[in-house]
Chain A
């Protein structure tokens, strides 16, 4: 068990160091996110009241789309340098590769969120520093990363690669999309927890089911 954990952390460390030294992906994701926020401004010339209601939805959409850039990249090193094989040969159990990638993708998503939210606040003059909001986004990011990591692991091995990821991933993410937008919206509107607790529960259920299922099937993704 301790072994497993140590291996997972080693893999996460490797991914983070790789990304930090190249900074390709993070920069791209951030630029993409900010540009999308600008586009939303022109697409939705709303009065401040309507816009503040739509905030949750806009933020989540931006994160979902920018997140695909991160997911696509999370496996390219392994695929292009053949490191999948090397990892398969070295790790005690194949599921640890999935969990490590899940953690890495989750951290990247959180990093993105941490940057996007203040920028949104700035651009649209709306304060968004509420702890429950962060909980909701964290649960959403977990679900996104859980399903996204599994799917990205597959699409990186196909011909169409990046093109295929959103098509495969987005239908599976619908529960997360609905739950995050509704719960975040409720938080921003100042509702009490009882008002959106069922959404939070749903998110938690989704996260757990998808993570467990992915752990079970992941060996079939990377092993022939």
Chain B
């Protein structure tokens, strides 16, 4: 079973300590939802986990062994959906996917390409440049892009952004499928409503550390929100 572990990760931006001796273990077959106030460092954590940014201290372990990002295959284990779409505006949707497949040296025969597009709800789109896609379509294509090389680890930063109701449901379906495949999945989001349906557990990031891990067992939306408030703003809850 795949396991990605962060141990004592510290990251500073100039004088600001964004991640402070952070520990987090992510297991295959689990969906971890990362919650935290704006600016808490959720995006930074994802960037450090995927090797896009170096931490100043601490280490990352994949299946117990130290993760060395100088190895060519290290980063390819990851599938990323971030704030920016990673799409080339003048290429069509299929061209974007074929391009990335070639970079990843992943086999992507036409049939598989079609199937991937259908999975994200873009099966019926005409091959036009991505420039003319709507925000929702771009988001769907970005998700397809993240999956095409069958990564073991999925890191998703606000993946519901730009998606309509149908899109969100489709995404949840996809996440469920990947979870069944044993993938490690970490998603940051503010959409507790949608997250609740797929999360195995909630991790709350505040003041540079994972302050709490809350298993998603029999929790209502209000429960989650209350717990979240308690952890991130203890003063305001105590006063209430």
A–B proximity contact (CB within 8 A):
yes
Say whether, besides A3-B105, A90-B104, A93-B72, A22 and B54 are in contact (CB < 8 Å): no
Chain A 197-224 against B: per-residue CB contact (8 Å), 1 yes, 0 no? Answer: 0000000000000000000000000011
Which chain A residues border B89 with CB–CB below 8 Å? 18, 77, 81
Does A22 lie within 8 Å of B80, measured CB to CB? no
Which chain B residues border A6 with CB–CB below 8 Å? 102
The closest CB in chain A to the CB of B103 belongs to: A90
A88 at the interface (CB under 8 A from B): yes
Does A83 lie within 8 Å of B88, measured CB to CB? yes
B182 at the interface (CB under 8 A from A): no
A44 at the interface (CB under 8 A from B): no
Chain B 75-102 against A: per-residue CB contact (8 Å), 1 yes, 0 no? Answer: 1101010111111111100010001101
Does A10 lie within 8 Å of B99, measured CB to CB? yes
Say whether, besides A17-B91, A18-B91, A88 and B99 are in contact (CB < 8 Å): no
Which chain B residues border A21 with CB–CB below 8 Å? 90, 129
Does A82 lie within 8 Å of B102, measured CB to CB? no
Does B52 lie within 8 Å of A88, measured CB to CB? yes
Does A85 lie within 8 Å of B52, measured CB to CB? yes
Does B129 lie within 8 Å of A82, measured CB to CB? no
Per DSSP, chain A at the interface is helix
A217 CB to closest chain B CB, in angstroms?
A: 15
Chain B 126-151 against A: per-residue CB contact (8 Å), 1 yes, 0 no? Answer: 00010000000000000001000100
Looking at A10, A83, A89, which has the most chain B CB atoms within 10 Å of its CB?
A89
Please count the residue pairs between chain A and chain B whose beta carbons lie under 8 angstroms apart in the complex: 71
A24 CB to closest chain B CB, in angstroms?
A: 10
Which chain A residues border B95 with CB–CB below 8 Å? 17
Looking at B84, B87, B145, which has the most chain A CB atoms within 10 Å of its CB?
B84
A92 at the interface (CB under 8 A from B): yes
Does A224 lie within 8 Å of B53, measured CB to CB? yes
Give the distance in Å from the alpha carbon of A6 to the alpha carbon of B104 in the complex.
11
Give the distance in Å from the alpha carbon of A91 to the alpha carbon of B99 in the complex.
12
Does A89 lie within 8 Å of B78, measured CB to CB? yes
Which chain A residues border B91 with CB–CB below 8 Å? 14, 17-18
Give the distance in Å from the alpha carbon of A22 to the alpha carbon of B82 in the complex.
26
A86 at the interface (CB under 8 A from B): yes
Does A82 lie within 8 Å of B82, measured CB to CB? yes
Which chain A residues border B188 with CB–CB below 8 Å? none
Among B86, B87, B99, which residue has its beta carbon within 8 angstroms of that of A85?
B86
5 contacts between A and B (CB under 8 A): A21-B129, A81-B85, A82-B85, A90-B100, A90-B104
Given contacts A85-B52, A90-B75, 9 further A-B contacts (CB under 8 A): A7-B102, A10-B99, A14-B99, A81-B88, A85-B84, A87-B103, A92-B72, A223-B52, A224-B53
